[in-house]
Structure 1
Amino acid sequence: MNIRDLFNRERPIGIDITNEAIILVEMSKKKGELELVNLGMAPTPVGAVRDGEIVDPTQVAATIQEIMAVEGFKCRKAITAVSGQAAIIRTIKFPAMSPKELREVVLAEAERYIPFAVSDVNLDFQALATVEEDGAQKTEVLLVAAQKQLISSYLEAITVAGLELVAVDVASFAVARALGPAMDSPEPVVLVLIRGETTDINVMKDGVPRFSRSIPIGSATFAQVIATGLNVSLEEAIAIHDRLVLPVAGAEPSDDPLVEQAATEIRSTLRELTTEIQRSLEYFHQSQGVEKIGHAILSGRGAKMKHLDKHLATYLGLNVEIGNPVGFRFDETRYPAEFLVEQAPILATAIGLARRGVEGT
């Protein structure tokens, strides 16, 4: 499987796999309107995904098969995503040249920009735009790389599940696609994607990634802190995490003592994550020399922590909102609007993957 399939125009099921949940979404497009066809999710088997890699493909495949059977998925093609430190994303400038020459130069120079040998990664790139710098024409290039071993683990799990993996995407790109116009601002906007094991920071302008960084703190990190501090199972801790109410000025605390205790337990981890996000944005300003970011969008399971948007707005000095990927038609008898809105942060990646399958972008 080559990550060049990032641009493959198929219509598969979007399958998002983290160490916490496996989510399947199928969409269609009728008369120019997107429509949710099918949706299913289940907890990831404990220990089956570690550091972004599927270490037990058989268990993951069995869970995918179970979701498909229960929800009645029929499509046999799939698109999935990698994220965190597993996906290396760089925006690089090269002297303007022909597409053939650019390809040769990018492949020859790639090892300077990724922390792995080129022979050990699946590599893809896309020319973004031609800009003038120091009086010379240069081509901006988006470079994406993922370790072959990691890609192979996803390919194995999805193949064992009886599906054909037709494309591999990057989770943050999928979420940006799901959020649509919100990410196409001509001003820099930062997407903070808090997945199971990592938080991915992506600054985008005009829908194009300008800066990416992965922080090794995710919703599973918070859940583990809760499990240890409250002496509960990890499954219980995840459920508590999803009901967390963070203390912010003027907001009512939770009336559940267990949730209140959990909010106290995660303070240190939340402080660490907030600091790392601040450092990431400061580095972006210093290295890129661009205008201040004034807007941030949250997604991923971590965004389910109530008042996280207000907390980050206070400490980052930004306008922060929870991303809404539910910009499509759906059968409310099967998928109540309240359910989709509540689960939106968790569903965003799979929705973006499914949209990619329908729209081919």
Structure 2
Amino acid sequence: MVTIPFLKNNLLSIDIGFRNIKIVEVEVNRNKEIFIKNFGIASTPKGSIKNGAIQDVRAVTNEISKVLKEIGVKTKNAKIVMSGTNIISRVFLVENIPGENLDNTVRMTISQSMPIDLDAHKIDYKVLKEIKDDGVPKVKVFVTAVLKNIIKSYIDILVELGLKPISVDIPANSAAKFFNRDIITTESDTWFKRNKYSKLDQSTLAVIDFGSETTIVNILKDRVLEFNKVILKGSSNIDEAIAESNHVKLDEAERLKKIQGLTPLDLSFDEEQVKIHNSIKGVINEIVRQIFQCFEFYEKRCFGDKVGKVYIIGGGSQLKGLTSYLESVLQVPVYHVGLLSIAGIRINEGLDSDRLNYLINSVGITLS
């Protein structure tokens, strides 16, 4: 009897955000199951990222190098996630002309519809589906464009660290890879929401990544990414609002935010707590307003369907009361998803599971 070895691929992934750098070492087997061997989180040096590009490669590599030594990483094959503020994405309907090269047709559409220098950008697109628009055969394509010099700044990080660059990816692709998998929710939560929202078509879902400086809205149809938008507001804006209204420092404002969250007010709340609540709600409402705009744009301009379900991820998604508040205003089922809510993930014993919710993007890019 011949024994076939259980193939494993060791990878290091690095997710560089505005506030934190997340580093995770994983084993991915041939069944796409992921074993998290180790991870570390470091603070992103202030001023080292501007408009998505790494401005101070040395400062960033120094922080990453410290973490790699602390957690004892030996893997050299590395993938990296870039910040999302300078990633342009669009959905287009392109006429499907027999005999014409689709690449040329897409590039022509981009040159006419997107105000970018094609030579300066790395352009990727994927065909979502073929449709007929007023009887004319067309293809629906999802286009992403990133400045080549921004991509290079991330590759420079890996090279400076002596790692072997495998890929530079965007947060939207990471989320899309994960949400191709089964999502594990509590049985009671699933039963309640399934009954309450039984009339909704949930084949179109949104994955909303609440970060420190940004909130990223991804929309997937039948688990295929069809829309991505970066909202330039995040949890740090809540800290600033609390600090201003309550006349406290930012670190104290962050502490108050974590304690109170979006807990509904009652008669026992004092004036300070009311101010905190109103500050949090004001920022969240502005983010929600822009989320609604994304949903509307996707339906009307991207030829999409109504969003029937929402998953929230990221550090900011852990705000108390956020899930129930979003559900009440969006009127769709909302699920808070951590790393261990996703099928096929195992972790090394002894790792801090509470911090794993920050790793979805960094782990997601390890999938092919």
Residue in 1 that maps onto 2:84:
84
**CA positional deviation for 1:116:** 2.0
Give the TM-score normalised by the residue count of structure 1.
0.82
Residue in 2 that maps onto 1:29:
28
For residues 289-332 of structure 1, give each alpha carbon's deviation from its aligned partner in whole angstroms, at most 9, with x where no partner exists: 65432211111221011111111111111211112332312222
Native 8 Å contact 1:247 1:253 kept in 2: no
CA RMSD of aligned residues (A): 3.1
Which is worse superposed, 52-61 or 16-25? 52-61
Indicate whether 1:133 and 2:147 are aligned: no
CA distance in structure 1 between the partners assigned to 2:268 and 2:210 by the alignment:
23
Indicate whether 1:47 and 2:47 are aligned: yes
**CA positional deviation for 1:40:** 1.2
Native 8 Å contact 2:216 2:229 kept in 1: yes
Q: Which runs of 5 or more structure 2 residues have no equivalent in the other structure?
A: 1-8, 184-200
Residue in 2 that maps onto 1:294:
308
**CA positional deviation for 1:74:** 1.1
Native 8 Å contact 1:125 1:141 kept in 2: yes
Residue in 1 that maps onto 2:112:
112
How many pairs were matched up?
A: 339
Residue in 2 that maps onto 1:4:
none
- Equivalent of residue 278 in structure 1, options 274, 286, 292: 292
**CA positional deviation for 1:21:** 0.5
Residue in 1 that maps onto 2:348:
331
> Against the structure 1 CA distance between its residues 289 and 273, is the aligned structure 2 distance closer, same or farther, given a 3 Å change threshold?
same
Identity in percent: 24
> Against the structure 1 CA distance between its residues 253 and 63, is the aligned structure 2 distance closer, same or farther, given a 3 Å change threshold?
farther
Residue in 1 that maps onto 2:232:
216
Q: What is the DSSP-based 3-state SS (H/G/I as helix, E as strand, rest coil) of the residue aligned with 2:181?
A: helix
CA distance in structure 2 between the partners assigned to 1:137 and 1:187 by the alignment:
24
Residue in 2 that maps onto 1:320:
334
**CA positional deviation for 1:60:** 0.8
Higher relative contact order (CA 8 A, sep 6+): 1
Native 8 Å contact 1:28 1:36 kept in 2: yes
Q: What is the DSSP-based 3-state SS (H/G/I as helix, E as strand, rest coil) of the residue aligned with 2:46?
A: coil
Which is worse superposed, 135-144 or 313-322? 135-144
Residue in 2 that maps onto 1:348:
360
Note the 1:135-174 alignment, pairs <5 A.
135-174=135-174
Which is worse superposed, 235-244 or 27-36? 235-244
Native 8 Å contact 1:245 1:259 kept in 2: no
**CA positional deviation for 1:178:** 2.6
Native 8 Å contact 1:201 1:213 kept in 2: yes
Q: What is the DSSP-based 3-state SS (H/G/I as helix, E as strand, rest coil) of the residue aligned with 2:23?
A: strand
Q: Which amino acid aligns with 1:69?
A: K
**CA positional deviation for 1:94:** 1.9
> Against the structure 1 CA distance between its residues 49 and 180, is the aligned structure 2 distance closer, same or farther, given a 3 Å change threshold?
same
Native 8 Å contact 1:248 1:310 kept in 2: no
For residues 133-167 of structure 1, give each alpha carbon's deviation from its aligned partner in whole angstroms, at most 9, with x where no partner exists: 33333223221111223223222233222223321
Residue in 2 that maps onto 1:3:
none
Native 8 Å contact 2:262 2:280 kept in 1: no
Q: Which runs of 5 or more structure 1 residues have no equivalent in the other structure?
A: 1-9
CA distance in structure 2 between the partners assigned to 1:242 and 1:14 by the alignment:
28
Residue in 1 that maps onto 2:320:
306
Residue in 1 that maps onto 2:195:
none
> Against the structure 1 CA distance between its residues 230 and 154, is the aligned structure 2 distance closer, same or farther, given a 3 Å change threshold?
farther
Q: Which amino acid aligns with 2:158?
A: I
Which is worse superposed, 97-106 or 59-68? 97-106
Q: Which amino acid aligns with 1:329?
A: R
> Against the structure 1 CA distance between its residues 156 and 226, is the aligned structure 2 distance closer, same or farther, given a 3 Å change threshold?
farther
Q: What is the DSSP-based 3-state SS (H/G/I as helix, E as strand, rest coil) of the residue aligned with 1:329?
A: strand
Which is worse superposed, 227-236 or 298-307? 227-236
Residue in 2 that maps onto 1:18:
17
> Against the structure 1 CA distance between its residues 268 and 282, is the aligned structure 2 distance closer, same or farther, given a 3 Å change threshold?
same
Native 8 Å contact 2:81 2:171 kept in 1: yes
Native 8 Å contact 1:88 1:114 kept in 2: no
